[in-house]
Amino acid sequence: MNISGIFPPVATPFDEREEIDLAAFTANVTRYMETRLAGVVVLGSNGEAPLLTEEEGVRLVAAARAVVPRGRVLVAGAGEESTRATIAGARRLAAAGADAVLVRTPGYFKTQLTQEVFIRHFTAVADASPVPVIIYNAAPFTGVNLLPPAVARLSEHPNIVGIKETSPDIAQVTEFVSVVRPPFQVVVGSLPTLYASLCVGAVGGIVAGANVVPGLCVELYELVRQKRFAEALALQRRLTPLARSVTSLYGPGGLKAAMDLAGYRGGKPRAPLPPASPQAVDVIRNQLAELA
Amino acid sequence: MNISGIFPPVATPFDEREEIDLAAFTANVTRYMETRLAGVVVLGSNGEAPLLTEEEGVRLVAAARAVVPRGRVLVAGAGEESTRATIAGARRLAAAGADAVLVRTPGYFKTQLTQEVFIRHFTAVADASPVPVIIYNAAPFTGVNLLPPAVARLSEHPNIVGIKETSPDIAQVTEFVSVVRPPFQVVVGSLPTLYASLCVGAVGGIVAGANVVPGLCVELYELVRQKRFAEALALQRRLTPLARSVTSLYGPGGLKAAMDLAGYRGGKPRAPLPPASPQAVDVIRNQLAELA
Amino acid sequence: MNISGIFPPVATPFDEREEIDLAAFTANVTRYMETRLAGVVVLGSNGEAPLLTEEEGVRLVAAARAVVPRGRVLVAGAGEESTRATIAGARRLAAAGADAVLVRTPGYFKTQLTQEVFIRHFTAVADASPVPVIIYNAAPFTGVNLLPPAVARLSEHPNIVGIKETSPDIAQVTEFVSVVRPPFQVVVGSLPTLYASLCVGAVGGIVAGANVVPGLCVELYELVRQKRFAEALALQRRLTPLARSVTSLYGPGGLKAAMDLAGYRGGKPRAPLPPASPQAVDVIRNQLAELA
Amino acid sequence: MNISGIFPPVATPFDEREEIDLAAFTANVTRYMETRLAGVVVLGSNGEAPLLTEEEGVRLVAAARAVVPRGRVLVAGAGEESTRATIAGARRLAAAGADAVLVRTPGYFKTQLTQEVFIRHFTAVADASPVPVIIYNAAPFTGVNLLPPAVARLSEHPNIVGIKETSPDIAQVTEFVSVVRPPFQVVVGSLPTLYASLCVGAVGGIVAGANVVPGLCVELYELVRQKRFAEALALQRRLTPLARSVTSLYGPGGLKAAMDLAGYRGGKPRAPLPPASPQAVDVIRNQLAELA
């Protein structure tokens, strides 16, 4: 299971009644498949997964499967607070067509979630999952952090193929790459850290900006592969302002506004997540113009 | 809707296969109803709600309803990340027998969850809920905080009857009591802060320790009502060590171990939450002995 | 050494060149001594101690000593990052007239400052200090927290007479009172938590608001002593908005603006601390009018 | 003023009475000058600057000046909480021989320290300093963060030549490099992030590990300059474990123990900072053996 390259954590478009707009979703994914993206991640944070039902998740994965060819990788987010619900999700989403599942660390009972607990959790999930597992370490969302020694241990499991790290702590990314057992793969979850992470040995990125400017994200990846470092760094610098807007700054509302401006189908996030304000839309429009 | 007094956020017992043990649950709640507890909260954090399915939630509420008489208050936890799922939960749990719903603030997309967003969310939920809403502010779990001005605004809604505050910040509890519109009620979610909170105008507590020593928790509440402050404070001091063990220190595993030791039916939490270690069980046993 | 009652952490007025204005300082302290304040704290956070030199500290303590009668308590802030500098400060300030020293926990090397390290530090300081030591736990400023077991140990030292707790965590204040060895005294460092803290056994407060409305702060304290709890709580609620303005919200600049409005001599803080904005001054003016 | 390359933030050796051991200090610096280190930083965090007096600072800078030739850069730490004290320190240390001063952001009154306040502070310091200023952003110690827009503004000041960033947030380092006005230089303050930071355009590092293995730190820097990236990354991975030990993990005590093991003169830190435990010394010894 090769997860190198660039994946968009695809947004989930809704209609006016906040129901999933499968046609819009399929249209976006279809267009993404016309680029050199390595695949897509459905049911990620940027897909508003915490605001979706189980049944909606299955529909989205099945719809993606219909347009993601077998040569690309269809990853589905499957993290839940309990081990058993995570396993059930992995089975359900694999049955719906996922090639791999992305499993977020639990995060609610922070004082109880020790490194040992994480190791047991991911091991049990990986033992039971019919498809490979990618660990998702998302401290900015969950408030808990999976440390290098635990990741080293988990990298020995034959059904755990990699980790997505969302924090911008490059020392941690560097250590992950250093301590894991090949062919375990490290990818990052944040476009502003993509270039640096590729330099230290990460093999790709699951980055929100790839919903908006997939071609440029792939270009950054390929420039590094071709060792054209100065060009890659210059492109990284150009991409960072937009990358901030569609994640930390304006959230899913900002991401969807950017998609609308870039010719994809975004729309509004599900309540209570706010849509981008008119001021935010102006900022994003200018950032896109700079990239054109 | 009077939510004054003491409520246990009831634990959810499981059998050996991690399935809900409804008989054990019903036995516990039945015994609680033989005390002067004001009611129970089902599907709270201490009930491991984030690790339960929707269907399990309905079964637990219905089972509680069967043994909670109409003169006591049956509260059900209903917070989800989306407004629509929260509303659906409120309807589902009200239909199952809940007298009120306890609605946690969303917390996943922290940068997007402004005070204005929270006001819109709780207003929409309260507009649609068939039963009264109690806000649940749980910064130690969620990483976001609802501030006094927003609570003041929300206290004007006729279907929002109160707030449960979990943080130990007594300045915030004092301000909540001060700025809300009567008859809006403030209750606390932490036994170590119960006495002080009652002193500043909170009317009760939803406290994990009431699963273990309900009589002592009620006694503390009643001593304050009778203005026997010195005795109340002395009791608070005696209760605090156990209270720490069954929440922040040992989590749901510690709570359930304490219940087993106190003659209730606890068992083990659902994975990945760890059971109490033998050392933790010893600590808790000694704390219970001190209280006997 | 009795530290019960209310102390202002006195502000440090500066002239236009940012030099200490001893006349203004002396005028303020003289007026404070006409009230029933228990004494004053010189060189506290609100006195901008981190922005003063050693020599300025000595001058301020000596000036205060000249107008603080022996029946009141003159406390001087003496916390430094090293044990030896803290001891030197305690000796220097005792020689200048301080009755006791308030010693902040070190906080710079956060990962190295374990509870054991704090115990050694305060023990060494207390062994060497010619005057009694009051521990100052100031997590909002320092980012480190002294826990109840360490405070219990330190309370056995004959030259450590109490602790000032600045965090609003009432569970911690309650535990401090519960675990320390009498006659060790717990006081709080935040006016919004004063009433609740007195209810759980704290014996007083070192609160910025006492620089502005000393009479009302003393009245709150005395109402609790007289068990007139409803009146005390009502007064607490009235005081809280101003209390927020002169600390967390507008900092030393806000405190000094409030002093000017209340007839004391405040002025501007030392750079880079900003003076209160015109909007902040308006807010404070209205809060003072509400209290008149 | 060129600050590219590797600088050790030199440790401050003490004798048995915790007095500065100038002979040991001079011996260390003399040996460092026999390597290709770009210079030294005296009075940094790793030099225990917060535990030193003004007079000690002057002696250390003067002693360093005596052995640091003019072709290398002697930087002195000069950050204080007040603008005026920082300016006084810059003048004092320049007079003692410093080529540049490293000025930490103030951090005590966190709520008052806005980006605008930081801009005013550093501008005033740079206007008055007789030698160039290097900004020191040290969020892990100070709890406050200087953001890219403020750094962009400050980079236009002719007497501010660069910034040392201590956080491992590579997105922020990348943005600093991207937004500043040349010839403003970005250096990092953490060895585990050195390779990645050099890749994104940082020009050097002020790293604790350079006190212990200066040759290897310089080699890492030079490998990147020679575009021998794979070798540089491999060396980074080898250096990281030791780098963790001498900073976040074991603090100044760990750094000094490592220096002793590596043949430099370390000794013990000033109280209350703890010396490395025997277990820590064993860990460090093994890490050094791996690097030999």
Q: Which residue of B has its CA nearest to A50?
A: B81
Structure tokens at B198: 């009652």
Dist. CA D24–CA D20, nearest whole Å: 9
Enumerate residues 6+ apart whose C-beta is below 8 A from C207: C6, C7, C8, C9, C188, C189, C190, C191, C194, C217, C243
d(C-alpha C169, C-alpha B71), whole Å: 35
Strands D133-137 vs A204-206: parallel, antiparallel or unpaired: unpaired
CA distances from A265 to A10, A14, A31, A73, A241 (A): 11, 10, 11, 22, 21
Mean of pLDDT over chain C: 97
Query: Are A101 and A134 in contact, with CB atoms under 8 Å apart?
Result: yes
Write down which chains contact chain B via at least 3 CB pairs under 8 A. A, C
Residue C111: Cβ within 10 Å count: 12
Residue A84 makes CB contacts below 8 A (sequence gap 6+) with B18, B270, B271
Neighboring chain C residues of B249 at a CB cutoff of 8 Å: none
- Cα–Cα distance measured from residue D241 to residue C214, given in angstroms and rounded to the nearest whole number: 55
- For residue B164, the distance in angstroms to the closest alpha carbon of chain C comes to 16
Any chain C CB within 8 A of the CB of D140?
yes
pLDDT for the residue A58: 98
- A118 CB neighbours in chain B (<8 A) are 272
A197/D175 Cβ within 8 A: no
The DSSP code sequence of D105-126 is: PP-SSGGG--HHHHHHHHHHHH
3+ Cβ–Cβ pairs closer than 8 Å linking B and D: no
C117-137 burial, b if ≥16 CB within 10 A, otherwise e? bbbebbbbbbebbebbbbbbb
A271 and chain B in contact, CB less than 8 A: yes
Q: What is the mean pLDDT of chain A?
A: 97
- The residue among C72, C74, C68, C77 whose CA lies nearest residue C48 is C77
A:186-205 residues touching chain D, CB 8 A cutoff: 190, 192-193, 195-197, 199-201
Task: Report d(CA B50, CA B45) in Å as an integer.
Answer: 7
- Interface contact A113-B45, CB threshold 8 A: no
* Marked catalytic residue, from D110, D164, D227, D256: D164
Min Cα–Cα distance to chain A from D171, Å: 5
Chains B–C, number of C-beta pairs less than 8 Å apart: 81
Q: What is the mean pLDDT of the segment spanning B95-120?
A: 97
A141 touches chain B (CB under 8 A): yes
Burial grade of B287 (CB within 10 A; 0-12, 13-18, 19 or more):
buried
Asked if the Cβ–Cβ distance from D50 to C108 is below 8 Å, we say: yes
* Alpha carbon of B216: minimum distance to chain A alpha carbons (Å): 26
Split at pLDDT 50, 70, 90, the class of C139 is very high
pLDDT, tens digit (0-9, with 9 covering 90-100), for B194-249? 999 999 999 999 999 999 999 999 999 999 999 999 999 999 999 999 999 999 99
Instruction: Dig out the tokens for D18 from the structure.
Output: 């915790």
pLDDT of the residue at A96: 98
Angle between helices D278-291 and D251-261 (to 10 degrees): 50
CA distance C122 to C132: 11
Omega prior to B183 cis, within 30 of 0 = yes
Contact C114 D274 (CB under 8 A): yes
The predicted pLDDT at position A90 comes to 98
Contacts of D268 in chain C (CB under 8 A): none
Q: Do A193 and D199 touch (CB under 8 A)?
A: no
CB contact under 8 A, A272 and B117: yes
3-state DSSP: chain C helix, strand, coil percent, rounded to 5? 50, 15, 35
Residue B13 is predicted with a pLDDT of: 98
Is the CB of residue C166 less than 8 Å away from at least one CB of chain B?
no
Asked if the C-beta of C245 comes within 8 angstroms of chain B's C-beta atoms, the answer is no
Burial class of residue D270 in the structure, from the number of CB atoms within 10 Å of its CB (0-12 exposed, 13-18 middle, 19+ buried): buried
Rounded to an integer, what distance in angstroms lies between the CA atom of residue A287 and that of residue A255?
A: 13
Per-residue three-class SS string for A115-184: HHHHHHHHHHHHHHCCCCEEEEECHHHHCCCCCHHHHHHHCCCCCEEEEEECCCEHHHHHHHHHHCCCCC
Q: Which chains are adjacent to chain D, needing at least 3 Cβ pairs under 8 Å?
A: A, C
Contact criterion met (CB < 8 Å) for C193 and B174: yes
Residue of C nearest to D51 (CA): C82
Q: Contact D175/A192, CB-based, under 8 Å?
A: yes
Any chain D CB within 8 A of the CB of A240?
yes
In whole angstroms, give the CA distance from residue C146 to residue C165.
9
Active site (catalytic) residues of C: 164
Interface contact D240, partner A, CB < 8 A? yes
Q: Please list every residue in chain A whose beta carbon sits closer than 8 Å to the beta carbon of residue D237.
A: 174, 177-178
Rounded to an integer, what distance in angstroms lies between the CA atom of residue C120 and that of residue C110? 16
The active-site residue, picked from B110, B164, B227, B268, is B164
- Decide if D77 contacts D136 (C-beta within 8 A): yes
The tens digit of pLDDT for each residue in D220-239 reads: 999 999 999 999 999 999 99
Residue D265 DSSP code: -
Chains B and C are in contact, defined as 3 or more C-beta pairs closer than 8 angstroms: yes
Instruction: From chain C, pick out residues whose CB is under 8 angstroms from the CB of B196.
Output: 170-171, 173-174, 196-197, 199-200
C135/C144 Cα distance (integer angstroms): 13
A237 touches chain B (CB under 8 A): no
Q: Which chain B residues are closer than 8 Å to C170 by Cβ?
A: 168-170, 173, 193, 196-197
Taking residues A90-118, report their average pLDDT.
97
Q: Rounded to whole angstroms, how far apart are CA atoms B151 and B133?
A: 13
- Report d(CA A46, CA C25) in Å as an integer: 56
Instruction: Name residues of chain D where pLDDT drops below 70.
Output: none
What's the average model confidence in pLDDT over C111-125?
98
- Choose from D82, D244, D245, D270 for mutation: most chain C CBs within 10 A: D82
| Whole-number pLDDT of residue C153 | 98
| Selection from A249, A244, A291, A292 nearest residue A274 by Cα | A249
The pLDDT of residue C42 is 98
Contact call for C141 and D110, based on CB within 8 A: yes
* CA Rg value for chain C: 18
Nearest to C41 by CA among C68, C59, C13, C15: C68
Q: Report yes or no: D248 at the A interface, CB cutoff 8 Å.
A: no
C105 touches chain B (CB under 8 A): no
Q: What is the ipTM of this complex?
A: 0.96
* For residues C148-164, average pLDDT: 98
Nearest-by-Cβ selection for A175 from D170, D229, D240: D240
pTM of model > 0.90: yes
pLDDT (0 to 100) of residue A285: 98
A chain contacts of residue D203, beta-carbon cutoff 8 Å: none
Q: What are B36's two structure tokens?
A: 């002067």
Interface chains of chain C (3 or more CB pairs under 8 Å):
B, D
Instruction: Decide if C273 and D112 are in contact by the 8 Å CB cutoff.
Output: yes
DSSP string, A68-108: S-TTSEEEEE---SSHHHHHHHHHHHHHTT-SEEEEEPP-S
Instruction: Considering only the beta carbons, identify the residue of B169, B178, B190 that sits closest to C237.
Output: B178
Q: Is A219 exposed, middle or buried (0-12, 13-18, 19+ CB in 10 A)?
A: middle
Distance from CA of D192 to the nearest CA of A (A): 5
CA dist., res. B218 & res. A175, Å (int): 52
A155 close contact with B: CB closer than 8 A: no
Q: Which chains have 3 or more CB–CB distances shorter than 8 Å to chain A?
A: B, D
Residue B159, class by beta-carbon neighbours within 10 Å (0-12 exposed, 13-18 middle, 19+ buried)? middle
